[in-house]
Homo-oligomer: A and B are copies of this chain.
């Protein structure tokens, strides 16, 4: 399927409004930083790699009209813009990585004038987009080697086209395996509360001709018990130096259940999702979101009684010992993670 989740077009950020899927494929065009912030916060654009691109493009949006008297003033404005974007969502590593990439390119070009610096920021953002296209395809190439003909793969949330520029991580592996002629069946956890599984993954898997079945999150264990799942592959929002992985809430549940049923559990993510400054999962901030995401169905219909307490963490942390391997764009990382992650990621 040929679509692009996020792009720079006609001096605007063009992105698919993912809150409208699967009902309609609708593009929105953003030329104000505040609108991007709210698009990120409200998950119109989501998925770690896509957020990396969104953050870098956002820096350009926020900086393109800045009039600074010198480099230091420009640099301070950049820090303000980056800080503002960083406040949208705390967990996805790529968001911060995207901001950092633009900061670094500016710092390395102190001698350039403001016009040139702005151009460099946009160039860097577009480079992130171009790299993501390649990186997803490389990752898929490595990951596909783990997939056998007739495998039935369980996944959660959306780590596909819509979470990246145009190919996906966990789902990219499946697209590649299919292209290689492997007959794959996919079970998708609907992924409460916001249903990225049934809304987004089901949409793109179906468009891509993959045989898929949607289940409620609480049905996964029963399928494993019945021997119907061969492999589990999930994306990642942030991976610590020891391999502990933050991803959509429910991922840890699948990892623990995979362990219990002796099913290999894989994480698929580009190296940009690794955060070597986080020693373990304990160092990863976990976003807690609006209770209404749980107590109301897609903000439309109240289901829990008024006033009932709700817990709504958007992510959980899967400890590294439950992960059989991490599929990256630089190859497959296996335990011992601490050593092997360092070797692969910091090269």
Residues on A close to B: CB < 8 A? Answer: 22-23, 156, 187, 189-193, 195, 198-199, 202-203, 206, 211-223, 225, 249-250, 252-253, 256-257, 259-261, 294-295, 297-298, 300-313, 316-317
What's the Cα separation between A198 and B302 when bound, in Å?
A: 10
Query: Nearest 3 CB-CB pairs, A to B?
Result: A218-B250, A221-B253, A217-B218
Once the chains are docked, how many angstroms separate the CA of A295 from the CA of B215? Answer: 9
A198-B303, A308-B202 given; A216·B294 CB < 8 A: yes
Complex: A72 Cα to B119 Cα, angstroms? 93
* CA of A212 to CA of B202, assembled, Å: 33
Considering the chains assembled together, what is the distance between the CA atoms of A214 and B223 in angstroms? 25
Contact of A300 among B203, B301, B312 (CB under 8 A): B301
Q: Can you list 8 contacts pairing A with B, beta carbon distance less than 8 Å?
A: A22-B304, A192-B192, A214-B310, A214-B311, A220-B253, A222-B313, A256-B260, A298-B303
Nearest-Cβ distance from residue A33 to partner chain B, whole angstroms: 31
A294 touches B215 (CB 8 A): yes
Closest Cβ–Cβ distance, residue A183 to chain B (whole Å): 16
Q: How far is the CA of A294 from the CA of B212 in the complex (A)?
A: 14
Contact A250 B219 (CB under 8 A): yes
User: Max chain B CB contacts within 10 Å: which of A156, A191, A193?
Assistant: A193
**CB-defined contacts of A211 to chain B, threshold 8 Å:** 309
- Chain B contacts for A198, CB-based, 8 A: 294-295, 303-304, 308
With A220-B253, A257-B260 already in contact, 6 other A-B pairs whose C-beta atoms are closer than 8 Å: A22-B304, A206-B305, A214-B310, A215-B310, A215-B311, A298-B303
Residues of chain B with a CB closer than 8 A to A303's CB: 22, 190, 195, 198-199, 298
Residue of B nearest to A198 (CB): B304
- B202 and A249 contact, CB distance less than 8 A: no
Whether A221 contacts B191 by the Cβ 8 Å rule is no
Contact of A218 among B214, B223, B253, B305 (CB under 8 A): B253
CB-CB under 8 A for A212 and B22, given A225-B252, A252-B225, A304-B202: no
Residues of B within 8 A of A195 (CB): 303
Q: How far is the CA of A44 from the CA of B149 in the complex (A)?
A: 45
